[in-house]
Chains A and B, each alone.
Chain A
C-alpha cells in the first residue's frame, strides 16, 4: 500500500492507483474531460492538473500513479489559475453556440465552463482561423470539427473498444484534428455507425443525426398512420434522462408517453425479437442438419447472429470471407418493419403507403440499417425513421409530458406481445439465451436444463463468454444430434468480436453458434443510450433487463401468442418462402478503409 496525503487528508491506496482515483476515495472531486472510465488514460486535456509539493510542474491526476509520501493539493491558486486557463483555451477552439447545440445542458465542456470560465473570456476566438466542415454524410451521426476539443475519447473508443479505427488523430500542432482516412466522408469509410464515439464525446462534436422533426411531422399529418416500436434496451435506460436512477424500468410509463406523443399504435420490437428466435433458431438447426447429416460443404458453421447492425457492417468491412456464416435473418427492427407494411397493414386494413413506421432504439447504427437498400421488402422503406433513446427523451420533454406521474400501460396489438426471451435481447448473451431456450426445446422436447430457464453461463459482462450444452434424449426429428455437445460463444464490443473472428478464421475455434453485439454490454450499452454510459450504468441496466425477463408471463419465444398467430395466419412455417422474402436478407463485401 502507498501512503500519501491529498488536501492534508491521509490515505493509503494500492500501488498503481492514480491520484484521481485516490482523491475520489476521499470524496475529493477533481474535474476531468479526456478521461473516461471505459478508456485508457490519455492525460491530454490537462483539466485535472493538481499540485504536488516540491514538483516543478503541475501533474495530471488522471495519469499520475501515487507514490509514497506524495503531498497533493487539488485546489491551490496555481491549480485554479491553470484550470481556468485550460478551460478557457478549450473554449477558444470550440464553437460555443451552446443555446443551439444538440448537447446543450448535457455537455461536459459547458459544465466546466460554468465552474471555471464564466464572465468575459480571456482568449481570442480560434474557430474562425480553421476551415472547419461539418460532415453530415452518415445517416447515423454528424461530425462537427468546430466543436471538437481533441480529447480523443472518440479515437480511443473506436480503437480500443471497437477495433475499427475509422477515425484517428491526424496532422499535428494547430492543424491537429480527428479525421477519417484522408478526410473522406464518414459514410465512405469503415465506420460501423455504432455511435460509441457519440456516446463518449464530451461536447457536440459527435452527435446522432436526429429525425425528431420528421417524426413530429408524420404524427401531425392526418393522412398518416404512425406506428412505433421500442427496443428492449430502451425501457431500462430511458428513465436515466427523465430523473430516474440507472437500472429503473419504465416500460409502462414509456408506452403511455408514446401514446401521449400521438403515435397511432405503440408496439414492441420484442415481438419481432421473438420472431427472430423462431427464424434464427430454425436456420441454425437447419444448418446443423445440413452440415452434420447431409455433409453439405456450402453451409457455414459457426453461425453468427445478425441482430446488431454495427456488427454487420464490421464483418462486411473486415471479414467478408465469413459473410456466409452470418445468419440471413434481419434484425428484429427490420423484421418488424417488413411486417408493419404487410401483415400489420392487412390486419388493420390500412394502405401501407400511409403507414409511417418509427422505431426507438438504443442504437445509432439502426438509423443506417433502416437506410440500407435491402430493407425495402414490403415494397416501401420498411422503417421510416429511427430515433435513439436520447431523442425520445427530447420528444417527451418537448411535449411537456410529466413522465414520472404517468399511469403505466401496455403495448397495443397486433405485434405488441412479447416474452422474456425477447426482453433479454437487450443484454449481451441474451439472443443466445433466448435461442437456446427455444432450440433446445425443439430438439429435445424439454425445457433447457437451467434453473428457472436462466442460462447463467451466457450472462454477464465478460468480453468473450463460452458455454456448451449436451444434447440428450432428442425427439425423433433431431435424433442425429443425440449426444452432441453444442458449443456457443458470445462477444460484445467489436474488439472482442474481432478476437473471436480471428479464432474462427484460423479454425482454432470450434463453436457452432456465436452471438455478437457491436456495443459493450450489448444493446443496453448502445451508442444511442443516455449519456453517460459506463460499466456501472451498464451493469444496472443489465440487472433491470433480467428482472424484466423474470416478470414476464411468457419466457420462451415460441410461446409468444402473437408469434404463433403470425405463423398461422401469414408466414406459414419459420424459414418459409414468405418468411425468407420478408424476414431474411443478404450482405455485401465492403472496402477495407
Chain B
C-alpha cells in the first residue's frame, strides 16, 4: 500500500456560486446525478462510510412518491465538531447538497436534524434557509427544508434512532431491515446523509467526479474534514486528503510527545505510537467520521478509557442487552481491575464481552463500544491495571 503524506484541501469551505451549481443540477437527469456521485467514490462522512451514490440509487428506486432527504446534523461523537463548523460557515452548501439529493432520489421534503447542543446556531441557519428557499424557487426546484432539534442524546446520530426522534419518540434504533432507503422517517423511503457528505456531493456535481476521485485512495476517495483536539498545539478544523498515515498526521498536529491518537472518537480506535507508521487513516485502516484526539505521555489511558465507558453507559439507548448491560460491565470491570478488587486477568473476560457486544448489539453504538475498549486495553494494559 502506498503511504501518503499530509495534503491540505479546500473543498468543503470553498466559496461556490450556489445558483450556478444548482442550475446545473436542475438540468441534469436524475440518473446522471446519481452516477456522478457513484463515480466519485464518495462514502458517507458521518463515520459508517456507506457509499452515498448507492444510498441515493436505492432511494430513487423506491416507488412511493413521498420520500425524504434527512440531513444528519446530530454530530455527537466525542471529539467531532466539524458539522457545526460547516453549518456555521457554509450552511447554504449543505442545503444545496440536500436539494441535489432530493432531485436525485425524487424527494420534495428535506429535514435537518440538528443536535440540541447547537441550538444557538439556529437563528442564523434559518435566515440562511429563507434565502435558500427563495433561490431554489427561482431556479425551479420543488423542494423545501425544515429543522428538527435534538435534545441531548448521542444515540440519535444513529439513523433509525434519529427517525424515531423526529417522529416524536425515544431515540431507540430500529430493527433492520427495513433499511431507511425503503422505510425511513415516517415509514417513507429516506436518504439520510451527514452534513459533510451533502456538501461533498454538491462539490462533486460542481467539479465532476473525476477530479474528486483523484484525491485519496482506492477505498477512501477524496478529502475529509477532521476535528482535531487533545494534546495538540493547533486544535481545530482541517480538511485533509484521505490516505495519510497516522504518523504523517502526528507530524503535523502532534506536540512532539504524542503517545496515542484516538481516531473516530469514543466509538473509534486507539492507535498507539508503535503503530503510527503503518496505520492509514481511512477505510483501509482506521475509519473516522473526523474525530482525531491526540494524547501525550502526561495522560493516563485508564482515565481516557474510563471517560469513554462512562459516556457509553449513559448514552446507550438502553434497549438491547449487550449494550445496556455490557457498557456497565466494562465500566465497572475496569474500575475493579484498577482498584485491584478483581484479578487483572479479568480484562481478558472483558475483551471477550466487548467481542460479544460487537456481534450481538442491535445497532452501531453497541457494536462499536468494543473498538476503543479493545484497542486501549490491548495497547495500554499496564496503564489500566496499575
**A interface residues, Cβ below 8 angstroms from B:** 41-47, 49, 56-58, 60, 63-65, 78, 81-82, 85-86, 89-90, 92-93, 122-124, 126, 129, 149-150, 152, 169, 171-176
Contact = CB atoms under 8 A, between A and B. Distances in A.
Contact of B319 (A44, A49, A57): A44
B178 to A, nearest CB: 9
A92 B325 CA distance: 8
A173 B356 contact: no
Given A129-B332, A172-B316, A93 B360 contact: no
B85 interface: no
A124 B352 contact: no
B138 to A, nearest CB: 44
A249 B95 CA distance: 69
Contacts of A176: 317-319, 324
Contacts of B257: none
Most A CB contacts (10 A, CB to CB) among B177, B318, B358 go to: B318
8 contacts: A46-B321, A81-B352, A85-B356, A86-B322, A126-B328, A150-B319, A150-B321, A169-B319
B332 A124 contact: yes
A60 B362 contact: yes
B170 interface: yes
A41 B325 CA distance: 21
B140 to A, nearest CB: 41
Given A172-B315, A176-B319, A49 B360 contact: yes
Given A57-B359, A81-B352, A174-B327, A44 B317 contact: no
Contacts of B317: 172-173, 176
B157 interface: no
B162 to A, nearest CB: 15
Interface in B244-292: none
Given A122-B349, A173-B313, A173-B316, A86 B356 contact: yes
Given A60-B175, A123-B329, A172-B153, A90 B321 contact: yes
A124 B336 contact: yes
A312 to B, nearest CB: 31
Interface in B341-383: 342, 349, 352-353, 356, 358-362, 367
Contact of A172 (B155, B175, B320, B322): B155
A126 B332 contact: yes
A129 B328 contact: yes
Nearest to A67: B177
A172 B360 contact: no
B235 interface: no
B46 interface: no
B313 A44 contact: no
A83 B345 CA distance: 22
B325 A126 contact: yes
A331 B84 CA distance: 63
A173 B329 contact: no
A106 B155 CA distance: 36
A350 B224 CA distance: 89
B324 A150 contact: yes
A174 B324 contact: yes
Nearest to B349: A122
B88 interface: no
Contacts of A172: 153, 155, 170, 314-318
B49 interface: no
Main secondary structure of the interface of B (DSSP, over half): helix
Contacts of A58: 359-360
A63 B177 CA distance: 9
A85 B360 contact: yes
Closest CB pairs A-B (n = 3): A176-B318, A89-B325, A63-B175
Interface residues of B, number: 37
A43 B170 contact: no
Contacts of B332: 124, 126, 129
A149 B329 CA distance: 15
B329 A92 contact: yes
B333 interface: yes
Given A46-B322, A46-B361, A124-B332, 18 more contacts: A47-B321, A49-B359, A57-B358, A58-B360, A63-B175, A64-B177, A85-B322, A85-B356, A89-B322, A92-B325, A92-B329, A123-B329, A126-B328, A150-B318, A150-B319, A172-B170, A172-B318, A173-B318
B180 interface: no
Given A43-B362, A126-B332, A86 B321 contact: yes
Contacts of A60: 175, 362
B326 interface: yes
A175 B328 CA distance: 10
Contacts of B312: 173
A85 B353 contact: yes
B358 to A, nearest CB: 7
A65 B317 CA distance: 24
Contacts of B325: 89-90, 92-93, 126
Contacts of A44: 319-321, 362
Nearest to B364: A57
A352 B333 CA distance: 62
A57 B329 contact: no
Contact of A171 (B318, B328, B358): B318
- Residue among A57, A92, A169, A174 with max Cβ neighbours from chain B (10 Å): A174
Contacts of A152: 319
A51 B124 CA distance: 49
A174 B356 contact: no
Contacts of B359: 49, 56-58, 78, 82
A140 to B, nearest CB: 27
Contacts of B316: 172-174
Given A57-B359, A81-B352, A89-B326, A45 B321 contact: yes
B247 to A, nearest CB: 29
A31 to B, nearest CB: 13
Nearest to A149: B321
A436 to B, nearest CB: 42
B68 to A, nearest CB: 23
A128 B170 CA distance: 27
A92 B360 CA distance: 17
A172 to B, nearest CB: 5
B327 A124 contact: no
Contact of B329 (A42, A126, A169): A126
Contacts of B177: 64-65
Contact of A89 (B153, B329, B367): B329
Contacts of B175: 41, 43, 60, 63-64
Nearest to A84: B356
A43 B332 CA distance: 26
B284 to A, nearest CB: 17
Given A81-B356, A89-B321, A124-B336, A46 B362 contact: yes
A49 B362 CA distance: 10
Contacts of B336: 124
Contacts of A92: 325, 329
Contacts of A45: 320-321
B311 to A, nearest CB: 9
B340 to A, nearest CB: 14
Contacts of B326: 89
Nearest to A172: B318
Interface in B204-260: none
A150 B318 CA distance: 8
A77 B367 CA distance: 19
B244 to A, nearest CB: 26
Nearest to A85: B356
Contacts of B319: 42, 44, 150, 152, 169, 176
Given A173-B324, A174-B328, A86 B360 contact: yes
A65 B328 CA distance: 31
Interface string B168-199: 00101001010000000000000000000000
Contacts of B324: 93, 150, 173-174, 176
B3 to A, nearest CB: 27
Contacts of B170: 169, 172
